Amino acid sequence: MTDMLSRPGARDGGPHQTPGPAPSDVVAPTKPVVLSAALSAGACLLTGLLTCAAVAVIGWLAATFGGASGALRAGASAWLVAHKAGVTLGSGSLTVAPLGLTLFFGWCLYRGGKSAARNSAADRTGDLILLSGVFAVVYGLGGLIVALLTADGSLKVHPLAAFLGAGTIAFVAGTLGILVESGAAADIADATPIGLRDTVPAAAAAVLTVIAIASMLYGVLLAIHFSRITGMLELLDAGVIGSVVLFAICLMLVPNMILYVVSFLAGPGFQLGVGTTIAPTGVDVGNLPALPLLAAVPEDGATPTYLLALTALVPLIAGVVAGLVVVRRGLVDEEADALGWDAFALRGGIAALIAGVMLYVLMALSGGSAGPGRMSAVGIPAALPAAGVLAAGMAIGAAITAAVIASRRPADVEADTAG
């Protein structure tokens, strides 16, 4: 990264425009780096807290017990849990982050980072580092304060965990927004070797392919067991407002369920309670909470044959997609003619490895404790083996696809020349 990035309007390194009195050329006033970071982080903090508080208050209005202060505390607890800051209530703890809510906060922080970079007009390396650090620290301190204010009696929250969880998410998402808005992301991409740079979008394509197939499978299973959903809704009898809150809760947990399906397709499977197993080798889960999202869980016993087939096909399909992306991006490189099929195969393998790391992080974040007793263990206990299996399958598909297409390229070129 250079010490002085190009200003907006001259990011291609070209000469700046000649200063003139035209109103359209007047640059908007900027704020100091620290102030811009603090204001943007505070705005993201308030947005998240107000969102959680609104859902909690709606739930309180639908209930016949508790008070408004308890509802606000519940909303703050949901905000903390979404940042992987566990909440202990009595003999149980809640550490399963609703990833739908976590992704929403991540998007807000990404936009907040872009806003901070835009308002401060930071372009030097030192200013960008300071902007990112202050943004994360301020947001983390906000999480610490929320934890201290939320803890009351039997409800306990570790302040340090709240600071680290909130600060980490703010640092990752906010820094990404800062780099994109300032133009530093483009500079980093230009400085990265082309072969490695092409593997990142290929890995992202593989991850999205796995998640898309898992989402479709999950949707099909929900449709097949639609009668279970209606039965659960009749049993809950939540009313109109309660149904809205229930829908919001389910929406927050959908990414978790999709990642559980991904782990199922990988082979190791997942668990919905202590001693339970949902895997291609068999299902042993027993009774489950009356949550409509769980209607897709297969009944105890053997797994259908078509699900077993998907466990082998899904990683290969994702690998093929990654291989196609690697070749398509590699062929437009000026040095593509000097690259053999083995170079493209290597890029496909690296893309699969990166995709495996991405999936491991997502699967590791999707689990935790969902309450006392039986529900103290929910998620993917074998996230690392699951990611390894997926990475191996994707590597096979990506390497073979990239190698085959690349090996056919010279023959095609010679044929075109002869014609």
| 155-157 sheet: strands from edge to edge | 92-94, 87-89, 155-157
Q: For all residues of the chain together, what is the average pLDDT?
A: 83
Q: What is the pLDDT of residue 128?
A: 92
* pLDDT confidence bin for 54, thresholds 50/70/90: confident
Tell me: the pLDDT tens digits for 72-94?
A: 888 888 999 999 988 888 777 88
The dihedral formed by the CA atoms of 62, 64, 66 and 71, expressed in degrees to the nearest 10: 0
Contact 323, 398 (CB under 8 A): yes
Only one residue has tokens 């869980």, namely 297
The rounded distance, in Å, linking the Cα atoms of 124 and 136 is 19
* pLDDT confidence bin for 152, thresholds 50/70/90: confident
pLDDT exceeds 80 at position 150: yes
Distance from CA of residue 180 to its chain's centroid? Answer: 18
- Higher-confidence residue of 69 and 22: namely 69
Q: What is the pLDDT of residue 16?
A: 42
Tell me: the pLDDT tens digits for 261-306?
A: 999 999 888 998 888 888 888 888 877 787 888 888 888 777 777 7
Q: What is the pLDDT of residue 2?
A: 42
pLDDT exceeds 60 at position 10: no
The model's pTM is: 0.85
Tell me: the pLDDT tens digits for 162-198?
A: 999 999 999 999 999 999 999 898 888 888 887 788 8
Only one residue has tokens 């290597």, namely 346
* pLDDT confidence bin for 237, thresholds 50/70/90: confident
The rounded distance, in Å, linking the Cα atoms of 166 and 135 is 11
Distance from CA of residue 140 to its chain's centroid? Answer: 19
